[in-house]
Amino acid sequence: MKKCIFSGGVIEKISDFIMLITFDNKRAITVADMKEITKIRHELFGDKKYCTLIDCRKDFINFSSDATTYIANHPRINEQRIAEAVFVKNVGQSLGGQLYIKLFKPKSETKLFYKEENAIAWLNKQYAAFNKEA
């Protein structure tokens, strides 16, 4: 499907409702990066509900605290995002992801995975459940 490069990595629309974000690890991810993602997300999905798959398997990805607060609390994102799956490659990344979930309390369901196919299967279930309720 569609692929967009932004200052902190790559965004791909991998289904009608799933956006894959792959961050690079060249520098800290900032609020400016998150705003760029928000703009691209709007270009890809408009006002439709969507799910996010985040690839954090690079060696170390650093998010500024302002960036994590922005993404966890942005009203438009929280209104449209149904669920977010984060896939990691090791226990250290998993602990960092769990800390993010506990500290920033994202408004949409957020879960960590070691395998991309499990993350996508979970997002498909979340999307189906949302549509069943709607």
| pLDDT tens digits along 24-58 | 877 889 999 999 999 999 999 999 999 999 998 87
Structural domains in the chain (count): 1
Asked, for residue 33, whether it belongs to a domain, the answer is: yes
> Average pLDDT for residues 53-72, to the nearest whole number?
83
Task: Kindly state whether residue 134 falls inside one of the protein's structural domains.
Answer: no
Q: Which structural domain, as residue segments, surrounds residue 38?
A: 3-129
pLDDT above 90 covers a percentage of the chain that reads: 54
Q: Residue 124: which pLDDT band, with cuts at 50, 70 and 90?
A: very high
Residue 103 in any domain: the answer is yes
Distance, in Å, from the CA atom of 10 to the CA atom of 28, rounded to the nearest integer, reads 15
- pLDDT tens readout for residues 72-86: 888 888 899 999 999
Question: For position 13, which CATH number holds?
Answer: 3.30.750.24
Confidence of residue 134 (pLDDT cuts 50, 70, 90): low
Identify whether 65 is part of a domain. Answer: yes
In a domain, 12, yes or no: yes
Please say if the pLDDT value at position 115 is more than 70: yes
